[in-house]
Structure 1
Amino acid sequence: MQLVDDRERTRELGRELRRYFIEARLVSQAFAELHGLHATDLQALIEVMDAEGRGSPLTPGLLGAALGLSSGATTAVIDRLETLGHLRRVREGADRRRVYLHYDEDGMALAREFFGPLQERILEVVQQFSAEDVEVAHRFLVAVVDAAAAHRRSVQAP
């Protein structure tokens, strides 16, 4: 496999990634505005949804850590999302003191209605590529996200 050593191609990829980040942020912002959510609320919903998708629901403490929020700010976000019908707190298992956060079905329906057409458009794009191309793109995106996360951790205040 020949590795890319082309600074111009790397700059082009960087520009396209930035264009994607901007578009994704604007789409998310449109959803948030349409449903009366703050940017942090939307981030919280994504964290909860992703955690549920992995089969490991979040506690309020884990959500706060993921968002970099204090416990008071995390509680305010959870309260807002619960009031709007996007999120619910559930006590599960033997330890009834432990609270888990779940995406409410009504909130999930709103997200599907809004983001479903986008998902279909992306699926149409993916289907234009071979399985091998998609795998390479996936590995590339994972590596880029990991690099960005490592950089964030290195510059983030303790």
Structure 2
Amino acid sequence: MKKTAESCMIVATLIATVVFAAAFTVPGGVKGDTGSPNFLKKVSFIIFSIFDPISLVCSSCSIITFLSILTARFALEDFLWTLPMKLVLGILTLFFSIAAMMVVFCATFFILFSEGIGKLAILATVLASIPVLLFFRQQYRLLWEVVRSTAFRSDSLISR
């Protein structure tokens, strides 16, 4: 659990760094006279503006959750409920962070390339869904096993 938390915390930190930087490097640039984004009225820019902070918040929550696992006291009773549920919460927020980051990536492609080469933006969207689906597929069993063994355990485990 500790190694998983360490690895996932590194990934969440990288995502937080990237989406934080993306918030201040607006795709398409800004107007020189007003400082407002050039593509402010485009739907894809609004999607970018919504999902970038969602990704930042989810990755930050994931970092905090994994940090709480690493700094836990690791008492026997913590392994029955607290630590497994923190692991589930951390992985879920990391998943939502990855998914939101990919939406931001796709929205950026639509902002920049929808008018000239729209097919490139569609291809980028299809390709961006692969890491999200891959992460979900690889972590689903771990999540299910942790939830099943924690939430649906018999009373005999609690009395131990």
Structure number with the bigger relative contact order (C-alpha 8 A, sep ≥ 6) is 2
Normalization by structure 2: what TM-score?
A: 0.25
Normalization by structure 1: what TM-score?
A: 0.26
Rg comparison, structure with higher value = 2
